[in-house]
């Protein structure tokens, strides 16, 4: 049995290490991550994680783990910002508001059984001023991150309330991931 991480995210690799797991192989799937018209955020993040897991060529003895994380304000999905202007727009939208960080995890067992879970973490940012948003944008930290922020970095100071999985906001909810991997046959302590 070998374990494949279907992600090129260094954050997911670091989070797996917290569970004492090192993948035997890393494969970065190439899929279209565009939301479908009127697709709810929870359905979107699960669909993307399932597509990532399915896009990996899997040998008969391999267990595959894939994940996806998105930020939602109401029904609006905030993916990765396209540019600095988009990042500013996202941060202004999140300023002083509650939002959801949804993180889907999918495990395909060696026998082909697919299991999945979605972690929903509610966060509230304190109000952010224009200079603060400009400084965060200039740091470059929010580019390439769902919702335009990295909670494990400077943006942690923006959070005034959080209920749910901190690791899910980073990119891989560990409690859910551990349960899925154990069910898939990965030996865990």
Helix 130-139 and helix 84-94: axis angle, to 10°? 130
Active site residues: 68
Residue 131, strand partner residues: none
**Closest alpha carbon to 50 in 76, 31, 71:** 31
Cα–Cα dist 138/116, whole Å: 36
Residue 62, strand partner residues: 2
Residue 117, strand partner residues: 105
Residue pointed to by tokens 């349960």? 179
b/e map of 13-28 (b: 16 or more CB within 10 Å)? bebbeebebebeeebe
Give yes or no for a contact between 105 and 65, defined as CB atoms under 8 angstroms apart: yes
Half-sphere exposure of 128 (CA within 13 A, CB side): 27
């Amino acid at each position: 049995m070998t374990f494949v991480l279907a992600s090129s995210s260094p954050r997911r690799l670091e989070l797996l290490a917290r569970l004492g797991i090192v993948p035997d192989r890393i494969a970065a799937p190439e899929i279209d991550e565009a939301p479908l018209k009127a697709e709810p955020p929870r359905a979107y993040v699960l669909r993307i994680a399932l597509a990532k897991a399915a896009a990996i060529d899997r040998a008969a003895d391999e267990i595959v783990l894939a994940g996806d994380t998105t930020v939602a304000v109401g029904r609006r999905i905030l993916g990765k910002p396209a540019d600095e202007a988009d990042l500013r727009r996202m941060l202004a939208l999140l300023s002083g508001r509650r939002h959801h960080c949804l993180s889907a995890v999918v495990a395909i067992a060696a026998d082909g059984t697919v299991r999945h879970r979605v972690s929903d973490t509610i966060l509230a940012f304190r109000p952010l001023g224009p200079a603060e948003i400009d400084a965060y944008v200039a740091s470059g930290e929010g580019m390439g991150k769902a919702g335009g922020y990295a909670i494990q970095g400077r943006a942690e100071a923006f959070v005034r309330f959080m209920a749910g999985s901190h690791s899910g906001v980073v990119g891989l909810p560990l409690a859910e991931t551990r349960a899925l991997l154990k069910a898939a046959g990965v030996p865990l302590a």
